[in-house]
Amino acid sequence: MGRGLLPAGLLLLAIVTSAAGITCNFRDAASLTSCVGSILSASRPALKKRFDPLRFRGVSGTGAINWTLTGVQFHGLSQFQVIVLEVQHSANLSLTVQAALGWQRLAGSGAGWFSTCPRVLGKPQCFSFTARPRLRVEGAVASLATELYLSLRNGTLKVTPRNTQVGFDIEKLNVNVNLDGFLGVLDNMLRNPSDKYAEKLTKEWWTKNKPILENKAKKFLNQLVKKHLSQDLATLLKGVR
């Protein structure tokens, strides 16, 4: 499910930051939309505890330069904005929710180790150095669609999500190598030539880890539906008979 999933003409929202005090009327489309938007936004602190930051295993590569990247973390997944939202209800006690979420920035950091052995006067001369790479994800967007089925049992409302689909797409990843020590000073003086090489390493790292980041983000979105949207709606929803 990609960026083109949501139909045109969906309602743009100024999302309320807390679900407290929200009127959530099953028979009123505007009330439903405002309620769902507030629940999504109010879930950020709880989601941050579990998913923010996202942590990745160390990776390494070999070639003209041998490298290892460890301790990579991405911060900011819980700081999403609800860009687009549509909520519809039907007579058979069900809701359909379609949403687009966006992130202003996802920032990453890690620890890098590099070594190389260029030939100098016909003999290999080996060097190693460390770095603190900074990574920045741009253009991250997510799409979310789910059907929420309502059931009343002994006066208690239950909301069950079904057919949930989530998508997560990233435009690009930027990297600054940020070399330590004298090499870092020299790199800055020379206008960061290491960043050009970083692009090559980034492609290799990104090829391995982009699917992992996307899968982690999808787990985040599924948790958003199952743990927060469904349970909070069951408490707040009125007008269900």
* Amino acid residing at 11: L
Question: Mean pLDDT throughout 204-212?
Answer: 76
Mean pLDDT for the chain? 75
pLDDT at 182 over 50: no
pLDDT at 224 over 80: yes
pLDDT at 184 over 60: no
pLDDT at 46: 85
CA distance 204 to 209: 9
**Cβ(55)–Cβ(73) below 8 Å:** yes
Q: What are phi and psi of 220, to 5 degrees?
A: -60, -45
Question: Mean pLDDT throughout 153-157?
Answer: 82
pLDDT at 8: 31
pLDDT at 185 over 80: no
Question: Mean pLDDT throughout 153-170?
Answer: 85
Q: Where are the domains positioned within the chain?
A: 11-238
Q: What are phi and psi of 55, to 5 degrees?
A: -110, 145
Instruction: Answer whether CATH 3.90.1570 is correct for domain 11-238.
Output: no
In the chain, the percentage of residues whose pLDDT exceeds 90 is 5
CA distance 108 to 98: 29
**Which residue's entry shows tokens 């190693």?**
128
Question: pLDDT tens across 35-70, in order?
Answer: 888 888 888 888 888 889 888 888 777 777 777 878
Instruction: Provide the greatest CA pair distance for the chain.
Output: 86
Q: What is the DSSP letter of 224?
A: I
Question: Mean pLDDT throughout 146-158?
Answer: 85
> Global pTM?
0.70
The C-alpha angle 47, 53, 55, rounded to 5 degrees, equals: 125
Which band of pLDDT confidence, cut at 50, 70 and 90, is reported for residue 27?
confident
**Cβ(136)–Cβ(105) below 8 Å:** yes
First-residue to last-residue Cα distance in the chain: 34
CA 106, distance to chain mean position in Å, is 7
Task: Give the residue with greater pLDDT, 3 vs 231.
Answer: 231
Q: Exposed, middle or buried: residue 32 (CB in 10 Å: 0-12, 13-18, 19+)?
A: buried
**Half-sphere exposure in the Cβ direction for 70 (13 Å, CA):** 4
Q: Is 59 left (phi over 0), alpha (psi -120 to 50) or beta?
A: beta
Question: pLDDT tens across 79-130, in order?
Answer: 989 999 998 887 678 888 999 999 888 888 888 777 777 777 778 777 777 7
Closest Cα to residue 145, out of 93, 102, 85? 85
Task: Give the residue with greater pLDDT, 195 vs 10.
Answer: 195
